Amino acid sequence: MARRSRVRIPLQLQERSRDHRRTCTEVVTAQVHSKLADYGLQLDGVGVKDIVLPGEMKTILAQVVEAGKSAEANVIRRREETAATRSLLNTAKVMEDNPVALRLKELETLERVAERIDKISVFGGLDQVLNGLVKLR
């Protein structure tokens, strides 16, 4: 007849319970198997179904998980920033060697600015607006 019993898991195993259920099962199996052998009993198998953590441990574990996710998000954010900076550098290199590309970028920038402005008055021609926005050495 199968009998279920509760075994107190060391705190060290509780902290890593989600990632190490198999290890936990192996440790429990080894401990129980050796004790049962002294009585001439044989153990068919052990399974860890649920590990219940005290409230304080749950809170700490949640904070650890949240900190890990936050760190991962920061890494992704930094990669995106690096990629954007690299893209800007490549655009600058292209514009440095190609005056037509520079002029197109100036017009694109002027278009974005004009979309946000209800009314614009230009004196001295379009070159005056562009020269006021972008100064090249």
The band of 63, judged by pLDDT with boundaries at 50, 70 and 90, is: confident
pLDDT in the model for residue 134:
53
More confident residue, 74 or 61: 74
pLDDT of residue 114 exceeding 50, the answer is: yes
> Which residues have C-beta within 8 Å of that of residue 14, sequence separation ≥ 6?
51, 53, 57
Residue (of 8, 19, 9) closest to 64 by Cα position:
19
Neighbours of 80 (CB within 10 A): 10
**CA–CA distance from 85 to each of 22, 81, 88 (Å)?**
45, 6, 5
The band of 137, judged by pLDDT with boundaries at 50, 70 and 90, is: very low
The backbone torsions φ and ψ at residue 92, rounded to the nearest 5 degrees and listed phi first, read -65, -40
Q: Where are the alpha helices (DSSP H) in 8-135?
A: 11-15, 21-37, 55-97, 99-116, 126-133
pLDDT in the model for residue 112:
86
Which amino acid would we find at residue 45? G
pLDDT in the model for residue 101:
84
pLDDT in the model for residue 86:
96
